[in-house]
Chain A
Amino acid sequence: MAAKKYLSIIVVGFGLVAGCSSSSDDALVVEGDFPLAYVKRDVGAAGNPTDSVIFRAGGDLYVRDKSASSGEERNVTASQTQGQGDVSDPEVSYDGSKILFTMRRPGDSSWRIWEADIAAYLNNKGAGIPLRQVMDASQNLDAGNDVDPAYLPDGRIVFVSDRLQKSSDDTIATQPGYRYRDEYEREVVTALHVMDADGTNVRQISFNQSHDRNPTVLSSGEVMYSRWDHVGGRNQFTIFISNPDGTGLFVKYGAHSGVTSFLSPREMQNGKVIADAMPLSRTSEGGALMVIDINNFSEAGEPVDTSVTGSGQSQPTFVSVDPGARVSTTGRYRTPYPLWDGSNRVLVTKTLPRLQDVTEISLITGLPETNQQEKTPVYGIWVLDMNTQVERLVVNPPVDSNGDAGLMITDPIALMPRPAPNVISDKTLDPVLAARDTAVLSVRTVYDTDRRNHMNNNTLTNYDINTKGATIPTVPAPVDDTRSVVADIPMLKTMSAGTRAARFVRIAKAVPTPGGSGGARETIGETDFEMQQIVGYQEIAPDGSLSIEIPADTPVGISVIDEKGRQLQTHTSWIQARPGETRTCNGCHSPRRGAAINPGITSSDTIVPGTDMTGNMNDIRYYHDIGPGGDQLPAKLGQVMSETRVDVDNFPGDIALRPHPRYDDVWHAMGSKDPADGFELNYAGLSAMPTMASRDPARDCSVTWTVDCTITIDYPDHIQAIWNARGCTACHDGVGSGGTDPYLDLRGGVGIVAATGRYPSYETLMVGPVVIDPATGLPVLQENNGVVEVQRETGMVQTGFARGSRLVEVLSGDELAAAGAANDTGGTDHTVMVNASELRLISEWADIGGQYYNSPFNADGSSRFVSGLSEASFSNCDADPLNNDCPHEVLINRCGSCHLAIGRPDDTIAPDFGSSGIDRFVLTNNTPGDFGVTITLVNDVCTPANSYLLAYPVVYNTGGAIDHPVGTPDDPLTPLVDESAAVMTAVEADFLTLSNWIAEAQAANSCP
């Protein structure tokens, strides 16, 4: 082993030398040379995983006759690009005779897929290399950017495109048609598409809210790719697979393996996968090489069964790279291409570590800090022998005198044949469902869960356990199972409905945002979630099974909810199904390998004598063993309870989603029925609610369920209506009437608008109090992309989780997952203030993300937008920092002596931040940060003087809810405060500067 390490170090050193000299001999040839292709591109094109399409002029495709620095290089695309185009993503055909690649020429409006015929070149280096644009002009070349092509073994081509061939068609049906943006409201999303070899018959096969990238084909014939898996706080690139027709889409690896982004996954000859592992940004798409044993592991620590040990992933390089580091001291790798010649080698793009020390002023401390940063990478091409860990330089980019490279050399492929993968023909799909543009989802039991505390007793709260008496019984796991215990399905079947944790399933669909003003972050609100709309509900059977019809070709989320419409855990992934497809899952969070824990009806279940009519196993009638009277639905072999219910012809509802959670005890005979039989949680208790459809009332799921209906919850229309109808604003009026918390302002409506352009009630529910460091008494600050932010506790609403929301606990009286006792509400019983329908709606809204708007368009088709205060006006100051000519200067100079968290004249004396727990005003002298915190105190644009920002400083010693503290005369930090007077008066210039700034937003917000 020691000798091996020594050799590797020597060779890496050689690589460095060789990279600086084009005339070096290629002294170390581990295996035979081979021809290869790669691209040279502007190094600025090495973006982030979240950048699917980047154009930088100056890119070209090259072939090289041998994998050595002495090889002869030839520019394949120069005649097309003329130095002003760009080329990327080459892929070789399985017989090694052709190269697919994507190119954008000067004058092209988009990237297009091309094919180079290199058969003649491989035999004669002087031969021509014909080029063919795969699509011709009849294929709407300008419909989008087509990148990342790969050959399917049947001759078709899978590729990535932002043309969104079907998604944009779907949006036309109910919205103005648009190609939607990623979940940062930034780039148009790229999805997988398939086309015939001649560029015809283009069709979209993947449907995601953010990018799908880097498709290649496994030996099995399945398409493997990297999916931007982003819902709420989940934000990563995970390896997915699907069939070439888009059916069978499934996460393959990397959702829980300690790596944020797996890019460029490719199958190796030994059946393992090699990929590039990196953070989500700022690494020039470089990271660690990672070999993944996808056949024996579903995650790094999750083997397929107990016979497999070790980890599912390892780095094949001699020197490892931290896949999570923004600064790597060991260089970076990207775009690996494993060879299929039995040598266990991989072509890979690599940069050696290029570090520099940079001294900057810390935005948090205000002090100079020296940090190590990476310089621009110098990406060249290397061959890594994974047997010896020896790396050999093949192509190094030209560098200037500083060692910087303007071009990177990347995306290498070996021009050699490999066995064609298995052909997977398009699947036979159900024509009735396909015609309805729907699919079937069947889950054998939601209690089949992995080891991450999903849907087990750790999910349950005090309310579930102590009030409902709920439990999820367990039994020892089967012998080969990697879990110690699994849910006890027979026991679950016998439990009464009232004691079951999981009662209903809710389906919500992603609502893509069109970009521009519609769907902008301010319109969506103070949440990490994007817009969502509820599609419907269905019952979860006693054994935890569910069988439902869902919209096809649509990212949908599945939530398991309780009897009050609250999900038991936040759903953070999208699934898709093609039209007519049936998706079957063992569980919602089950291990991705192995047998289901719910076998359904087996021959050991009750058999009714005399019903074996034909002797065929399928005609024997069984009954799910659910206790006395539980013999009302005849079941068939293999069926779980939801399948039995759907299979019984005379039962209504069956597979279709419903507008409301409803439970019917179809299993027991009269006299043995569950006490909850016939229970429905509907909207009947809502008063004077507007339609729940985003634009077309005929598509309101809460009225009539149809395939394309929606329950759209827009905060201003639906949630604010509850506060207004229930008189909540009589107490929660922003001034603390009746001794209530003045910061809990539940007002909203025409002429009642906060600084964000949204209702003050929304702001007060979503923005939590400042986190105070108990050791210093100072607010805890953090830097986020150049903005100093105040850390805040969770607001009254935990986005994506009603059960974690204090608001829901207070209104329901249930001890759920939020901090604090549910009944600790100052002696006022809030459980009588809303009814079950209203509580359902509030819970639904919190569960899907707590968005302000969940529809990007108004009823007339115009884009939603909110109009808040201007940061530009806030900081529009002249050079004199003391003349208070803009709001920011006023606040720093008049309030900073107490409210400035950093940069104070004497940091040894801490101001009294947070003694009341509600002080939200923390200045840092960072303009974006101070703007952000200031607008949280502007809760009334139409009457600026009523906003906290101006209402507080003009009062003192009131003894009421609003009572600005006065300073201590001997406190050097509060020299301007006089105990006998307010810190500001309503007639002075500084007050008017602030007031006038707030008033700027009045016109756009219909203030009276």
Chain B
Amino acid sequence: MRLAVSLFVGAILILVTGCEAVTVEDGPGGNTLCFNYFQSCINPILDENIAGKTCSASGCHRQGEAFGGAFRTDPTAADGSTEMLANFISAKGATNLNNAANSKLLTKPLVSGILHGGGVVFTTADPQYSEILYWINNSVTAQDDPICDNLFNGTACQIYNP
């Protein structure tokens, strides 16, 4: 038996107005995270083979198949899809906007003072760490999202450092 694929949008308002136009309702804490940056730069990390490990692997966090705790991600999610939005919500749920480096999205793959069934995935010296940290550190308001162009260095997923 496979676990049912679950998608619970909750307080998130989705407005699909084209390929990438997704609006995310402001979170109760005031700020939220940039969906566009997640879609372009963070979600690929979750599907990436990082030294033999992949977050979205079936035995780890793959939506509908895996057993890896609350964090789930669907490697088949297309840009602008509800599946991508679900990936965003799940990843955002593992962040700490007050203390980005203390986010489970980072401490888990670092195995930094926490349990992680998948062991160490990357280190603080790796680009995956820097990009995720950058994404969380640059929370935006609902008015910024989903554009949040200021997070991008051009179109590349490099950390914008003016």
Which A residues have a C-beta under 8 Å from some C-beta of B? 153-155, 219-221, 247-248, 295-296, 304, 419-433, 440, 442, 444, 547, 580-586, 590, 592-596, 598-604, 616-618, 635-640, 643-644, 646-647, 649, 654-656
Decide if B127 is an interface residue (CB 8 Å cutoff): no
In the complex the two chains form, is B54's CB within 8 Å of A593's CB? no
In the complex, what residues of B have CB within 8 A of residue A655's CB?
1
A584 to B115, CA, bound (A): 10
List the 8 closest pairs (A to B, CB-CB), nearest first: A638-B59, A639-B59, A636-B58, A595-B119, A432-B4, A442-B67, A423-B29, A637-B57
Contact across chains for A639 and B58 when beta carbons are under 8 A apart: yes
Which residue of B1, B93, B117, B118 contacts A428 across the interface (Cβ within 8 Å)? B93
Q: What are 21 A-to-B residue pairs whose CB atoms are below 8 Å?
A: A219-B96, A247-B70, A295-B113, A422-B29, A422-B95, A423-B97, A426-B10, A428-B72, A428-B90, A431-B4, A584-B68, A593-B114, A593-B115, A616-B75, A618-B57, A637-B53, A638-B57, A638-B68, A646-B1, A647-B58, A654-B1
Provide the main secondary structure of the chain A interface: loop
Task: Report the minimal beta-carbon distance from B58 to chain A, rounded to whole angstroms.
Answer: 3
B107-126 at interface with A (beta carbon < 8 Å) = 111, 113-120
Chain B 19-38, CB-CB to A under 8 Å as 1, else 0, gives 00000000111000000000
CB neighbours of A427 from chain B (8 A): 70, 93
Task: State whether A618 and B115 are in contact (beta carbons under 8 Å apart), knowing that A425-B27, A640-B59 are contacts in the complex.
Answer: no
CB distance from B104 to the nearest CB of A (A): 8
> Contact between B4 and A430 (Cβ–Cβ < 8 Å)?
yes
Within 8 A of A (CB), among B57-99: 57-60, 62, 65-70, 72, 75, 86, 89-90, 93, 95-99
By a CB distance below 8 angstroms, the chain A residues around B114 are: 593
Q: Is the CB of A582 within 8 A of B69?
A: yes
Are the C-beta atoms of B97 and A643 separated by less than 8 Å?
no
A424: chain B residues within 8 A (beta carbon): 93
* Contact B8 A220, beta carbon cutoff 8 Å: no
Confirm or deny: B56 has a beta carbon within 8 angstroms of a beta carbon on chain A.
Answer: yes
State the Cβ distance, A429 to closest chain B Cβ, in Å.
7
On chain B, the residues within 8 Å of A592 by CB distance are 115
B66 partner residues in chain A, CB cutoff 8 A: 638, 643
Q: Is the CB of B57 within 8 A of A603?
A: no
Using C-beta atoms within 8 Å of the partner chain, give the interface range for chain B.
35 or more
Q: Does B39 contact A (CB under 8 A)?
A: no
Report how far A296 CA is from B115 CA in the complex, Å.
12
Evaluate contact between A428 and B57: CB separation under 8 angstroms: no
Judging by beta carbons under 8 Å apart, are A637 and B119 in contact? no
Report B8 CB to chain A, min CB distance, Å.
Answer: 4
A601 to chain B, nearest CB (A): 6
B3 touches A635 (CB 8 A): no
B93 and A425: CB pair below 8 A?
A: yes
Set B3, B90, B113, B118: member contacting A596, Cβ < 8 A: B118
Q: B6 touching A430 by the CB < 8 A rule?
A: yes
Q: Which residues of chain B come closer than 8 Å to A643, judged between CB atoms?
A: 59, 66-67
State the CA gap A82–B86 with chains docked (Å). 53
Contact B10 A618, beta carbon cutoff 8 Å: no
Q: Given contacts A304-B113, A582-B67, A586-B117, is CB(A431)–CB(B58) below 8 Å?
A: no
In the assembled complex, the CB of A195 is this many whole angstroms from the nearest CB of chain B, namely 15
The answer to whether A444 and B8 touch (CB under 8 A), given A247-B70, A637-B59, is no
Q: Provide the bound-state CA to CA distance between A219 and B69, in Å.
A: 21
Are B62 and A618 in contact (CB-based, < 8 A)? Answer: yes
> Within the assembled complex, what's the spacing in Å between the Cα atoms of A590 and B117?
11
Bound complex: CA A220 to CA B95 (Å): 9
What's the nearest-Cβ distance from chain A to residue B132, in Å?
A: 16
Question: Taking CB as reference atom, which chain B residue is nearest A250?
Answer: B115
Report A-chain residues with C-beta under 8 Å of the C-beta of B67.
Answer: 440, 442, 547, 582, 584, 643
